[in-house]
Amino acid sequence: MRISTVKIISLLFFILSAFYLYTAHQIRVFSFDEDAPFNAKTFPIYLGYLGMFLSALYIILPERTSTEVNHKVLDYKSSLFLVLITIVYGFIILKAGFFLSTSLFLFLSYYFLGERRWIWMFILSFPFVALFMFLLHGILDIYLRDPFLKMLGIIG
């Protein structure tokens, strides 16, 4: 009996989602936010359940067609770079802040995925993250600690 690579990847994604769900339950919230309908752990918990549900469907349901993957044409180098910059992103987000680290992460991700139009790479990273920060701070009143923007005097 040969186990499909889709089933193996789905099993790994199920385990990853279960671990994510476990860590989502460990998120601390303010005491006044515990009974709120939406708090810091609501979306991660739902995301963990959704990942487990979808991967379980892939594991349980039969495959319609068998797919053969030609490993010679896959770009493992770009995937490895994405994993590495994701790890670096996780380490620098607290020191550099959300705006700078996320913008650089997106910019480098576009570059490693093959995009070479610098203006689009810039527009889809720095202004996009700035718009997202405005949405969080200005409209939703969600505070993200950002030493870089604090140093520039943009947020307090």
Q: Compute mean pLDDT per 10 residues along the chain, 156 residues long, and list them.
A: 79 95 88 74 92 94 75 84 94 89 94 90 92 85 78 76
Residue 48 lies in a domain: yes
> Burial of 101 by CB count in 10 Å (0-12 exposed, 13-18 middle, 19+ buried)?
buried
Rounded Cα–Cα distance for residues 57 and 87 (Å): 29
Give me 45's structure tokens.
């918990």
Question: Which among 8, 11, 24 is positioned nearest to 52, based on CA atoms?
Answer: 11
Structure confidence at residue 154 (pLDDT): 76
Residue 94 lies in a domain: yes
The alpha-helical segments, DSSP class H, found in the chain are 5-25, 42-60, 76-96, 98-112, 118-123, 126-134, 147-152
Instruction: Looking at the structure, tell me whether residues 53 and 108 fall in a common domain.
Output: no
Q: Is the dihedral of CA 134, 135, 139, 140 positive or negative?
A: negative
Give me 2's structure tokens.
């040969």
Q: What is the CA radius of gyration of the chain?
A: 20
Instruction: Looking at the structure, tell me whether residues 25 and 53 fall in a common domain.
Output: yes
Residue 68 lies in a domain: no
Rounded Cα–Cα distance for residues 126 and 102 (Å): 8
Model confidence pLDDT, tens digit, residues 117-128? 999 999 999 999
Residue 132 lies in a domain: yes
pTM: 0.66
Structure confidence at residue 67 (pLDDT): 67
User: For residue 41, what are the domain limits?
Assistant: 5-60
Instruction: Looking at the structure, tell me whether residues 101 and 141 fall in a common domain.
Output: yes
Q: Total structural domains in the chain?
A: 2
Check: CB of residue 99 under 8 Å from CB of residue 146.
Answer: yes
Instruction: Looking at the structure, tell me whether residues 56 and 97 fall in a common domain.
Output: no
What are phi and psi for residue 97, nearest 5 degrees? 95, 165
Structure confidence at residue 156 (pLDDT): 66
Structure confidence at residue 155 (pLDDT): 73
Residue 66 lies in a domain: no
Instruction: Looking at the structure, tell me whether residues 138 and 91 fall in a common domain.
Output: yes
Instruction: Looking at the structure, tell me whether residues 83 and 144 fall in a common domain.
Output: yes
